[in-house]
Structure 1
Amino acid sequence: MPVSSDDVKNASGLTSSEKQIIQSIKELYTCKPTDSTYEMYTETAVFHDPIGIAEGVKSIRAQFNGLAKLFPRAEIPKLRVLENPPSVPKSTLLIDQDVSYYRNPQGEPIKTINSLLTIETNDQHKVTRHTEEWNHRRETSAEDGFMGMLNEGRKKFTANFTGMFVSQAPPEQKNES
């Protein structure tokens, strides 16, 4: 049986589709998304972080395009792809990263956040779920009772509200349109 280019691994064990997803993650978190950055997601993908739950690629675009509006510069001083424990499917990427955010592009970072990204993909190597946990701490969910359910409702509201005010065009492409 012929091997597809997505099945060929590099020296680190990553497939070409995984390398592309990691490149897109870097573009998102350094506040430099382009239209092609969002091609890694399915139309119904979900992005869940401590602030919001964005459902669908349009809502995800709004979250990261909004992030780029808040921070003109961000850097990733540390990014490690972690080895999946046996309980995590091979179609899931685990990424440990530090992201430094800058309000003044020439100044010092105002905040550096460590996070664990859990990137779940489908058989077409598209991201179906992108979860970010700050400091590797799981947030409450609806499964955690009434307060968890309220917290999830707030996160969905936050993502929807952001989507009402943030353009679908990536920040650097706005002047080109």
Structure 2
Amino acid sequence: MLLRLSPHHFAPRVCFPFAARSFRIMPSNNMEAANASGLTPNETKSLKERSADPHEEKILKAVKELYSCKPSEETYSIYASNAVFHDPIGIAEGITAIRAQFNGLVKVFPRADVTQFRVLENPPSVPTSTILVDQDVSYFRNPSGSPTKTVNSLLTLETNDAHQVTRHTEEWDHKRETTREDGFFGMLNEQRKKLTASVTGLFVSQDPPEGKTSK
């Protein structure tokens, strides 16, 4: 979520992230590059669906609330205090920054429909403490109109012994997100994302949107 200050009003103005030219350096186009799961995009896309384990159900319910633009106070209880959220738009470090990212999403898209949500089988190389989800989300600028954009993504949710999410990675079309490990441009991309997340946190309330409650 990118916020830009209007020079005329000194108030935060939300930019439409999917169209922003500043997001050219995003996922890797190398289909052989391993994503956050340690697998290639084609490998994660071919994983079979599985049923969620009982201890995973609270996490998955909260994740659906986040991507449906309906976060409540309870939604954020799935995260450890030092959790990290990484997607093509930003890197949010800590629960405060994560709350700002998803609360801010509601300001851009008052409606979002999760049209596909598949919990994937973990191959032997992926720890059982990691949850893999293949999802499609349709985002609406106009709640009563047609979707502005539908995004397929892989969610890699790493958890601790207390079943709290310590790292939440979203990768569009399952493609690997570049970081400083990818050299100079990867480093620039990582720093841009952290800056985007920190600026968002300055202007977005920690309180979930009014009228949003967990069911």
Give the TM-score normalised by structure 2: 0.74
Q: Confirm or deny: 8 A CA contact 1:32 1:172 kept in the other structure.
A: no
Structure 1 residue 173, shift from structure 2 partner: 5.2
Partner in structure 1 of residue 181 of structure 2: 143
Could you list the structure 1 runs, at least 4 aligned residues long, displaced by more than 4 angstroms after superposition: none
Can you give the 5+ residue segments of structure 1 that lack an aligned partner in the other structure?
A: 1-11
1:88 aligns with 2:126: yes
Secondary structure at the residue paired with 2:69? coil
**Residues 152-171 of structure 1, C-alpha deviations (whole Å, 9 max, x = no match):** 00000000000000000001
1:26 aligns with 2:64: yes
Is 1:14 matched up with 2:52?
A: yes
State the shift of 1:16 in Å. Answer: 2.4
Q: State the identity as a percent.
A: 67
**Residues 67-106 of structure 1 aligned to structure 2 (within 5 Å):** 67-106=105-144
Aligned partner letter, 2:75: T
Residue 17 of structure 1: how far off its partner (Å): 2.4
User: Which residue is equivalent to 1:107?
Assistant: 145
Matches of 2:178 and 2:110, distance apart in 1: 30
Gaps of 5+ in 2: 1-49
Aligned match of 1:122: 160
1:47 aligns with 2:85: yes
Q: Normalized per residue, which structure has more helix?
A: 1
Deviation readout 1:64-122 (Å, 9 max, x if unpaired): 00001111100011110000111110000000000000111111110000000000000
In structure 2, the partner of 1:7 is: none
- TM-score computed with the length of structure 1 as normaliser: 0.89
- Give the equivalent residue in structure 1 for 2:33: none
2 CA distance for matches of 1:76 and 1:49?
A: 17
State how many pairs are aligned: 163
Distance 1:76 1:45, change over 3 A: same
Aligned CA RMSD, in angstroms, stands at 1.2
